[in-house]
Amino acid sequence: MAEQRRLHLGAVMRPVGIHTAWWRYPGSYPDANFNFRHLARFAQTLERGRFDAFFMADHLAVLNMPVEALKRSATVTSFDPLTLLPALAVLTEHIGLIATASTTYNEPYHIARKMASLDHISNGRAGWNVVTSSNPMEAKNFGRDEHLEHATRYRRAREFIDVVTGLWDSWADDAFVRDVETGVYFDPDKLRALDHQGEFFKVLGPLNIARPIQGWPVIVQAGASEAGRQLAAETAEVVFAAGGRLESARAFYADIKSRMDRIGRDRDHLKVLPAAFVVVGETAEEARAKRAKLDSLVHYESAIASLSVMLGVDASKFDPDAPLPDIPETNSSKSARERMMELAAAENLTVRQLAQRAGGYSGFGFIGAPKAIADEMEEWLFTGAADGFNIMFSHAPGGLDDFVDLVVPELQRRGIFRREYEGATLRENLGLPRPGNRFFDMSSNEK
Protein backbone atom coordinates (compact mmCIF):
# COMPACT_ATOMS: atom_id res chain seq x y z
CA MET A 1 0.00 0.00 0.00
CA ALA A 2 1.38 3.36 -0.97
CA GLU A 3 2.08 5.59 1.94
CA GLN A 4 -0.06 8.70 2.32
CA ARG A 5 1.71 11.65 0.75
CA ARG A 6 2.43 14.28 3.38
CA LEU A 7 3.64 17.85 3.50
CA HIS A 8 6.99 18.90 4.91
CA LEU A 9 7.04 22.34 6.48
CA GLY A 10 9.93 24.68 7.09
CA ALA A 11 9.58 28.04 8.83
CA VAL A 12 11.67 30.77 7.26
CA MET A 13 12.85 33.44 9.64
CA ARG A 14 14.86 36.29 8.13
CA PRO A 15 15.43 36.87 10.96
CA VAL A 16 11.73 37.06 11.84
CA GLY A 17 9.45 38.20 9.03
CA ILE A 18 9.75 38.75 5.28
CA HIS A 19 7.15 41.52 5.19
CA THR A 20 8.95 44.81 5.83
CA ALA A 21 6.29 45.98 8.33
CA TRP A 22 6.05 42.79 10.40
CA TRP A 23 7.62 44.46 13.42
CA ARG A 24 4.94 47.20 13.49
CA TYR A 25 1.97 44.84 13.42
CA PRO A 26 -0.05 45.00 16.66
CA GLY A 27 1.25 42.43 19.12
CA SER A 28 4.54 41.79 17.29
CA TYR A 29 7.81 41.80 19.21
CA PRO A 30 9.69 44.63 17.45
CA ASP A 31 13.04 43.60 18.96
CA ALA A 32 12.64 39.90 18.16
CA ASN A 33 15.52 39.68 15.73
CA PHE A 34 18.05 40.36 18.39
CA ASN A 35 16.10 39.08 21.37
CA PHE A 36 16.99 35.48 21.95
CA ARG A 37 14.07 34.78 24.29
CA HIS A 38 11.55 35.69 21.60
CA LEU A 39 13.26 33.58 18.97
CA ALA A 40 13.37 30.64 21.38
CA ARG A 41 9.62 31.00 21.96
CA PHE A 42 9.05 30.99 18.18
CA ALA A 43 11.13 27.82 17.75
CA GLN A 44 9.25 26.10 20.56
CA THR A 45 5.92 27.05 19.02
CA LEU A 46 7.05 25.68 15.66
CA GLU A 47 8.03 22.45 17.36
CA ARG A 48 4.59 22.25 18.97
CA GLY A 49 3.30 22.67 15.39
CA ARG A 50 5.51 19.74 14.27
CA PHE A 51 7.42 21.78 11.71
CA ASP A 52 10.27 19.92 10.03
CA ALA A 53 12.67 22.81 10.44
CA PHE A 54 13.42 26.33 11.55
CA PHE A 55 15.17 27.79 8.53
CA MET A 56 17.37 30.80 9.08
CA ALA A 57 18.00 32.90 5.99
CA ASP A 58 20.89 35.34 6.10
CA HIS A 59 22.96 38.05 4.49
CA LEU A 60 26.50 39.07 5.35
CA ALA A 61 25.86 42.81 5.17
CA VAL A 62 23.50 45.63 5.91
CA LEU A 63 21.84 45.71 2.49
CA ASN A 64 22.08 48.80 0.37
CA MET A 65 18.88 50.84 0.21
CA PRO A 66 17.90 54.49 0.43
CA VAL A 67 18.13 55.71 4.01
CA GLU A 68 14.36 56.40 4.17
CA ALA A 69 13.72 52.69 3.56
CA LEU A 70 16.76 51.46 5.48
CA LYS A 71 15.84 53.20 8.72
CA ARG A 72 12.48 51.38 8.65
CA SER A 73 14.00 47.94 8.04
CA ALA A 74 14.31 45.39 10.83
CA THR A 75 16.64 43.26 8.71
CA VAL A 76 19.62 45.49 9.49
CA THR A 77 20.36 43.51 12.65
CA SER A 78 20.24 39.75 12.94
CA PHE A 79 22.06 36.93 14.64
CA ASP A 80 24.65 34.86 12.84
CA PRO A 81 22.73 31.63 12.07
CA LEU A 82 25.49 29.26 13.16
CA THR A 83 25.68 31.07 16.51
CA LEU A 84 21.91 31.28 17.06
CA LEU A 85 20.94 27.73 16.12
CA PRO A 86 23.12 25.91 18.70
CA ALA A 87 21.38 27.97 21.38
CA LEU A 88 17.94 27.10 19.97
CA ALA A 89 19.00 23.44 19.85
CA VAL A 90 19.18 23.38 23.62
CA LEU A 91 15.59 24.59 24.01
CA THR A 92 14.04 22.25 21.44
CA GLU A 93 14.07 18.49 20.93
CA HIS A 94 12.75 17.62 17.51
CA ILE A 95 12.74 20.51 15.08
CA GLY A 96 15.45 20.74 12.42
CA LEU A 97 17.79 23.74 12.48
CA ILE A 98 18.87 24.97 9.07
CA ALA A 99 21.65 27.57 8.91
CA THR A 100 22.48 29.62 5.84
CA ALA A 101 26.22 29.71 5.10
CA SER A 102 27.84 31.21 2.03
CA THR A 103 30.26 29.23 -0.13
CA THR A 104 31.74 32.46 -1.47
CA TYR A 105 32.80 34.05 1.82
CA ASN A 106 33.69 31.04 3.95
CA GLU A 107 36.34 28.35 4.18
CA PRO A 108 35.08 24.75 3.86
CA TYR A 109 36.96 23.55 6.97
CA HIS A 110 35.08 26.04 9.17
CA ILE A 111 31.68 25.23 7.72
CA ALA A 112 32.26 21.48 7.96
CA ARG A 113 33.31 21.77 11.60
CA LYS A 114 30.58 24.20 12.66
CA MET A 115 27.83 22.21 10.95
CA ALA A 116 29.17 18.97 12.45
CA SER A 117 29.25 20.64 15.87
CA LEU A 118 25.65 21.82 15.47
CA ASP A 119 24.62 18.33 14.38
CA HIS A 120 26.19 16.77 17.49
CA ILE A 121 24.81 19.42 19.85
CA SER A 122 21.31 19.05 18.41
CA ASN A 123 21.44 15.24 18.20
CA GLY A 124 21.14 15.17 14.44
CA ARG A 125 18.98 18.15 13.56
CA ALA A 126 21.35 20.34 11.52
CA GLY A 127 20.85 21.51 7.96
CA TRP A 128 23.01 23.69 5.73
CA ASN A 129 21.40 26.17 3.37
CA VAL A 130 24.11 26.58 0.74
CA VAL A 131 24.11 30.08 -0.76
CA THR A 132 26.55 31.68 -3.18
CA SER A 133 25.99 35.31 -2.05
CA SER A 134 25.12 37.53 -4.99
CA ASN A 135 24.74 40.79 -3.13
CA PRO A 136 27.53 43.29 -3.90
CA MET A 137 27.35 44.72 -0.36
CA GLU A 138 28.51 41.36 0.98
CA ALA A 139 31.59 41.41 -1.27
CA LYS A 140 32.65 44.71 0.23
CA ASN A 141 32.76 43.21 3.72
CA PHE A 142 35.17 40.51 2.55
CA GLY A 143 37.84 42.43 0.74
CA ARG A 144 36.29 42.44 -2.71
CA ASP A 145 35.01 45.33 -4.79
CA GLU A 146 32.72 43.19 -6.89
CA HIS A 147 30.95 39.97 -6.15
CA LEU A 148 32.10 36.88 -8.05
CA GLU A 149 30.62 36.27 -11.45
CA HIS A 150 27.72 33.79 -11.51
CA ALA A 151 29.41 30.78 -13.14
CA THR A 152 32.48 31.11 -10.92
CA ARG A 153 30.29 31.25 -7.82
CA TYR A 154 28.58 28.04 -8.82
CA ARG A 155 31.80 26.20 -9.64
CA ARG A 156 33.13 27.29 -6.27
CA ALA A 157 29.92 26.19 -4.52
CA ARG A 158 30.14 22.78 -6.13
CA GLU A 159 33.73 22.27 -5.03
CA PHE A 160 32.94 23.69 -1.57
CA ILE A 161 30.20 21.09 -1.07
CA ASP A 162 32.55 18.31 -2.18
CA VAL A 163 35.16 19.42 0.35
CA VAL A 164 32.69 19.82 3.20
CA THR A 165 31.04 16.44 2.67
CA GLY A 166 34.48 14.86 2.29
CA LEU A 167 35.57 16.37 5.61
CA TRP A 168 32.40 15.05 7.27
CA ASP A 169 33.52 11.59 6.13
CA SER A 170 36.92 11.93 7.85
CA TRP A 171 35.94 9.44 10.55
CA ALA A 172 34.04 6.19 10.25
CA ASP A 173 30.89 6.22 12.35
CA ASP A 174 32.43 3.67 14.71
CA ALA A 175 35.95 5.15 14.84
CA PHE A 176 35.85 6.16 18.49
CA VAL A 177 36.35 3.09 20.64
CA ARG A 178 37.44 5.01 23.77
CA ASP A 179 38.80 1.91 25.43
CA VAL A 180 39.70 3.01 28.93
CA GLU A 181 41.46 -0.29 29.65
CA THR A 182 43.90 -0.25 26.74
CA GLY A 183 44.04 3.53 26.40
CA VAL A 184 43.06 3.49 22.72
CA TYR A 185 40.77 6.40 21.95
CA PHE A 186 40.10 5.65 18.30
CA ASP A 187 40.94 3.09 15.66
CA PRO A 188 43.45 4.71 13.29
CA ASP A 189 42.18 2.56 10.41
CA LYS A 190 38.93 4.50 10.68
CA LEU A 191 40.40 7.94 10.12
CA ARG A 192 41.10 9.35 6.65
CA ALA A 193 42.59 12.65 5.52
CA LEU A 194 40.68 14.06 2.54
CA ASP A 195 43.74 15.58 0.82
CA HIS A 196 41.65 17.69 -1.57
CA GLN A 197 43.23 19.85 -4.26
CA GLY A 198 40.92 21.62 -6.65
CA GLU A 199 40.33 24.85 -8.54
CA PHE A 200 39.42 26.86 -5.44
CA PHE A 201 40.47 24.85 -2.40
CA LYS A 202 43.37 22.88 -1.06
CA VAL A 203 42.39 21.12 2.15
CA LEU A 204 44.32 18.30 3.76
CA GLY A 205 42.01 17.25 6.60
CA PRO A 206 40.98 15.25 8.51
CA LEU A 207 38.23 17.20 10.24
CA ASN A 208 38.80 17.44 14.00
CA ILE A 209 35.35 16.34 15.04
CA ALA A 210 33.57 13.00 14.87
CA ARG A 211 31.29 12.31 11.89
CA PRO A 212 27.94 14.11 12.26
CA ILE A 213 25.04 12.21 13.82
CA GLN A 214 23.21 12.38 10.48
CA GLY A 215 26.31 11.37 8.52
CA TRP A 216 25.91 14.68 6.79
CA PRO A 217 23.68 17.55 7.89
CA VAL A 218 20.82 18.01 5.39
CA ILE A 219 21.85 20.07 2.33
CA VAL A 220 19.45 22.81 1.28
CA GLN A 221 19.61 25.10 -1.76
CA ALA A 222 17.56 27.80 -3.41
CA GLY A 223 19.12 28.23 -6.83
CA ALA A 224 16.59 28.88 -9.60
CA SER A 225 19.01 29.55 -12.47
CA GLU A 226 20.16 26.80 -14.84
CA ALA A 227 23.37 26.35 -12.82
CA GLY A 228 21.44 26.52 -9.55
CA ARG A 229 18.92 23.88 -10.64
CA GLN A 230 21.62 21.51 -11.79
CA LEU A 231 23.62 21.96 -8.57
CA ALA A 232 20.44 21.30 -6.59
CA ALA A 233 19.54 18.19 -8.59
CA GLU A 234 23.03 16.83 -8.02
CA THR A 235 23.66 17.77 -4.40
CA ALA A 236 20.59 19.20 -2.59
CA GLU A 237 18.16 17.36 -0.36
CA VAL A 238 15.77 20.27 0.11
CA VAL A 239 15.12 22.98 -2.46
CA PHE A 240 13.82 26.29 -1.25
CA ALA A 241 11.77 27.14 -4.36
CA ALA A 242 10.03 30.31 -5.43
CA GLY A 243 6.26 30.13 -5.04
CA GLY A 244 4.20 31.75 -7.75
CA ARG A 245 1.66 30.28 -10.11
CA LEU A 246 0.76 26.65 -9.73
CA GLU A 247 1.67 25.86 -13.34
CA SER A 248 5.13 27.36 -13.13
CA ALA A 249 5.70 25.62 -9.78
CA ARG A 250 4.75 22.30 -11.44
CA ALA A 251 7.17 22.98 -14.26
CA PHE A 252 9.97 23.77 -11.80
CA TYR A 253 9.18 20.68 -9.75
CA ALA A 254 9.17 18.46 -12.83
CA ASP A 255 12.41 19.97 -14.06
CA ILE A 256 14.29 19.35 -10.80
CA LYS A 257 13.00 15.80 -10.45
CA SER A 258 13.75 14.91 -14.06
CA ARG A 259 17.28 16.26 -13.68
CA MET A 260 17.56 13.81 -10.77
CA ASP A 261 16.25 10.97 -12.94
CA ARG A 262 18.88 11.73 -15.55
CA ILE A 263 21.74 11.36 -13.09
CA GLY A 264 20.22 8.35 -11.37
CA ARG A 265 19.23 9.97 -8.07
CA ASP A 266 16.04 8.81 -6.39
CA ARG A 267 13.56 11.67 -6.78
CA ASP A 268 12.27 11.16 -3.23
CA HIS A 269 15.69 12.13 -1.93
CA LEU A 270 15.09 15.80 -2.62
CA LYS A 271 12.13 17.76 -1.26
CA VAL A 272 10.91 20.80 -3.18
CA LEU A 273 9.51 23.31 -0.72
CA PRO A 274 8.26 26.57 -2.27
CA ALA A 275 8.33 29.70 -0.14
CA ALA A 276 4.85 30.78 0.95
CA PHE A 277 3.88 33.91 2.84
CA VAL A 278 0.89 33.08 5.02
CA VAL A 279 -1.81 35.26 6.56
CA VAL A 280 -4.43 33.29 8.45
CA GLY A 281 -7.86 34.52 9.53
CA GLU A 282 -10.91 32.84 10.96
CA THR A 283 -12.53 33.79 7.67
CA ALA A 284 -11.21 34.87 4.28
CA GLU A 285 -12.36 38.42 5.07
CA GLU A 286 -10.44 38.49 8.32
CA ALA A 287 -7.30 37.23 6.60
CA ARG A 288 -7.59 39.88 3.89
CA ALA A 289 -8.18 42.55 6.52
CA LYS A 290 -5.07 41.43 8.40
CA ARG A 291 -3.01 41.65 5.27
CA ALA A 292 -4.44 45.08 4.45
CA LYS A 293 -3.59 46.22 7.97
CA LEU A 294 -0.04 44.90 7.60
CA ASP A 295 0.41 46.55 4.19
CA SER A 296 -0.93 49.83 5.55
CA LEU A 297 2.01 49.89 7.98
CA VAL A 298 4.52 50.13 5.13
CA HIS A 299 5.75 53.71 4.99
CA TYR A 300 4.39 55.39 1.89
CA GLU A 301 7.67 56.95 0.72
CA SER A 302 9.48 53.60 0.81
CA ALA A 303 6.48 51.92 -0.73
CA ILE A 304 6.18 54.26 -3.68
CA ALA A 305 9.92 53.93 -4.33
CA SER A 306 9.56 50.13 -4.50
CA LEU A 307 6.55 50.40 -6.80
CA SER A 308 8.39 52.85 -9.08
CA VAL A 309 11.23 50.36 -9.48
CA MET A 310 8.81 47.57 -10.33
CA LEU A 311 6.79 49.65 -12.81
CA GLY A 312 9.76 51.44 -14.33
CA VAL A 313 8.03 54.82 -13.91
CA ASP A 314 7.93 57.45 -11.16
CA ALA A 315 4.77 56.35 -9.36
CA SER A 316 4.96 59.22 -6.87
CA LYS A 317 3.19 61.42 -9.43
CA PHE A 318 0.05 59.26 -9.38
CA ASP A 319 -2.91 60.02 -7.12
CA PRO A 320 -2.31 57.65 -4.19
CA ASP A 321 -6.03 57.12 -3.62
CA ALA A 322 -6.99 56.46 -7.21
CA PRO A 323 -6.65 53.23 -9.21
CA LEU A 324 -3.40 52.61 -11.08
CA PRO A 325 -3.42 54.45 -14.41
CA ASP A 326 -2.36 52.66 -17.61
CA ILE A 327 1.42 52.20 -17.69
CA PRO A 328 3.15 52.07 -21.05
CA GLU A 329 5.88 49.46 -21.63
CA THR A 330 9.27 50.59 -20.30
CA ASN A 331 12.81 49.29 -19.93
CA SER A 332 11.88 47.86 -16.54
CA SER A 333 11.45 44.14 -15.93
CA LYS A 334 8.36 43.21 -17.92
CA SER A 335 7.36 40.48 -15.48
CA ALA A 336 7.47 42.78 -12.44
CA ARG A 337 5.43 45.46 -14.25
CA GLU A 338 2.85 42.96 -15.44
CA ARG A 339 2.63 41.35 -12.03
CA MET A 340 1.92 44.74 -10.43
CA MET A 341 -0.72 45.64 -13.04
CA GLU A 342 -2.45 42.28 -12.66
CA LEU A 343 -2.37 42.58 -8.90
CA ALA A 344 -3.93 46.06 -8.97
CA ALA A 345 -6.69 44.84 -11.26
CA ALA A 346 -7.37 41.55 -9.47
CA GLU A 347 -7.68 43.06 -6.01
CA ASN A 348 -8.92 46.46 -7.11
CA LEU A 349 -6.10 48.24 -5.29
CA THR A 350 -5.42 51.97 -5.17
CA VAL A 351 -1.92 53.23 -6.00
CA ARG A 352 -1.22 53.50 -2.29
CA GLN A 353 -2.37 49.95 -1.57
CA LEU A 354 -0.40 48.57 -4.50
CA ALA A 355 2.69 50.49 -3.43
CA GLN A 356 2.39 49.19 0.10
CA ARG A 357 2.03 45.67 -1.23
CA ALA A 358 5.15 46.16 -3.36
CA GLY A 359 7.07 47.67 -0.45
CA GLY A 360 5.83 45.09 2.06
CA TYR A 361 5.81 41.71 0.37
CA SER A 362 4.30 41.01 -3.02
CA GLY A 363 5.52 37.44 -3.51
CA PHE A 364 3.52 34.24 -3.38
CA GLY A 365 1.28 33.60 -0.41
CA PHE A 366 -1.72 31.84 1.05
CA ILE A 367 -4.15 34.40 2.47
CA GLY A 368 -7.33 32.97 3.92
CA ALA A 369 -9.15 30.81 6.39
CA PRO A 370 -7.49 27.57 7.56
CA LYS A 371 -9.61 25.27 5.39
CA ALA A 372 -8.97 27.30 2.26
CA ILE A 373 -5.23 27.36 2.94
CA ALA A 374 -5.27 23.60 3.52
CA ASP A 375 -7.18 23.14 0.25
CA GLU A 376 -4.56 25.07 -1.64
CA MET A 377 -1.66 23.26 0.01
CA GLU A 378 -3.31 19.94 -0.76
CA GLU A 379 -3.64 20.88 -4.40
CA TRP A 380 0.06 21.78 -4.59
CA LEU A 381 1.02 18.56 -2.85
CA PHE A 382 -1.10 16.25 -5.00
CA THR A 383 -0.57 17.86 -8.40
CA GLY A 384 3.20 17.72 -8.55
CA ALA A 385 3.96 21.28 -7.51
CA ALA A 386 5.52 20.79 -4.08
CA ASP A 387 6.61 18.36 -1.38
CA GLY A 388 5.67 20.94 1.23
CA PHE A 389 6.34 24.61 1.92
CA ASN A 390 8.73 27.02 3.50
CA ILE A 391 6.35 29.19 5.46
CA MET A 392 6.96 32.89 6.04
CA PHE A 393 4.78 34.41 8.72
CA SER A 394 3.07 37.78 8.48
CA HIS A 395 4.23 38.77 11.96
CA ALA A 396 5.35 37.13 15.18
CA PRO A 397 4.29 35.76 17.52
CA GLY A 398 0.70 36.34 16.27
CA GLY A 399 1.00 35.16 12.68
CA LEU A 400 3.09 32.19 13.72
CA ASP A 401 0.67 31.19 16.46
CA ASP A 402 -2.26 31.48 14.02
CA PHE A 403 -0.61 29.08 11.62
CA VAL A 404 0.26 26.54 14.32
CA ASP A 405 -3.08 26.75 16.10
CA LEU A 406 -5.41 26.99 13.11
CA VAL A 407 -3.79 25.63 9.94
CA VAL A 408 -1.66 22.78 11.31
CA PRO A 409 -4.62 21.01 12.97
CA GLU A 410 -6.57 21.25 9.70
CA LEU A 411 -3.65 19.69 7.80
CA GLN A 412 -3.40 16.96 10.44
CA ARG A 413 -7.14 16.18 10.24
CA ARG A 414 -6.70 15.62 6.51
CA GLY A 415 -3.81 13.25 7.12
CA ILE A 416 -1.39 15.35 5.10
CA PHE A 417 0.78 16.48 8.00
CA ARG A 418 2.33 14.60 10.90
CA ARG A 419 0.81 14.55 14.37
CA GLU A 420 4.08 13.40 15.93
CA TYR A 421 7.64 13.50 14.66
CA GLU A 422 8.43 10.29 12.79
CA GLY A 423 12.14 10.17 13.51
CA ALA A 424 14.88 11.44 15.77
CA THR A 425 16.79 13.46 13.19
CA LEU A 426 15.91 16.12 10.63
CA ARG A 427 16.91 13.64 7.94
CA GLU A 428 14.51 11.05 9.28
CA ASN A 429 11.65 13.52 9.55
CA LEU A 430 12.22 14.62 5.97
CA GLY A 431 12.32 11.01 4.80
CA LEU A 432 15.89 11.30 3.54
CA PRO A 433 18.47 8.48 3.67
CA ARG A 434 21.58 8.75 5.82
CA PRO A 435 24.55 9.18 3.46
CA GLY A 436 27.14 6.45 3.47
CA ASN A 437 30.75 7.34 4.17
CA ARG A 438 32.78 7.58 0.95
CA PHE A 439 35.84 6.16 2.64
CA PHE A 440 34.47 3.51 4.93
CA ASP A 441 31.12 2.20 3.72
CA MET A 442 31.38 -0.61 1.24
CA SER A 443 27.69 -0.55 0.35
CA SER A 444 27.02 1.54 -2.74
CA ASN A 445 25.90 5.06 -1.95
CA GLU A 446 23.65 7.20 -3.98
CA LYS A 447 25.71 10.23 -4.92
Cα–Cα distance for residue pair 183/181, rounded to 1 Å: 6
207 or 236, CB closer to its own copies?
207
10 Å Cβ neighbour count for 443?
6
Closest Cα to residue 394, out of 329, 298, 320, 330? 298
Q: How far is the CB of 433 from its own copies (least distance, A)?
A: 24
185 or 382, CB closer to its own copies?
185
120 or 418, CB closer to its own copies?
120
82 or 386, CB closer to its own copies?
82
Q: Which residues pair with 218 in a beta bridge?
A: 127
Q: How far is the CB of 336 from its own copies (least distance, A)?
A: 24
Residue at 118: amino acid letter = L
Cα–Cα distance for residue pair 64/69, rounded to 1 Å: 10
Q: How far is the CB of 217 from its own copies (least distance, A)?
A: 12
Dihedral angle, C-alpha 256, 260, 263, 268, nearest 10 °: 170
Instruction: Say whether the peptide bond before residue 435 is cis (omega within 30 degrees of 0).
Output: no
Q: How far is the CB of 207 from its own copies (least distance, A)?
A: 8
Q: How far is the CB of 289 from its own copies (least distance, A)?
A: 19
DSSP letter (8 states) at residue 217: P
Cα–Cα distance for residue pair 127/371, rounded to 1 Å: 31
Q: How far is the CB of 187 from its own copies (least distance, A)?
A: 7
Q: How far is the CB of 181 from its own copies (least distance, A)?
A: 8
Cα–Cα distance for residue pair 194/128, rounded to 1 Å: 20
56 or 391, CB closer to its own copies?
56
66 or 423, CB closer to its own copies?
66
Torsion over CA: 136, 142, 146, 149 (sign): negative
- 3-class DSSP state of 238: strand
188 or 328, CB closer to its own copies?
188
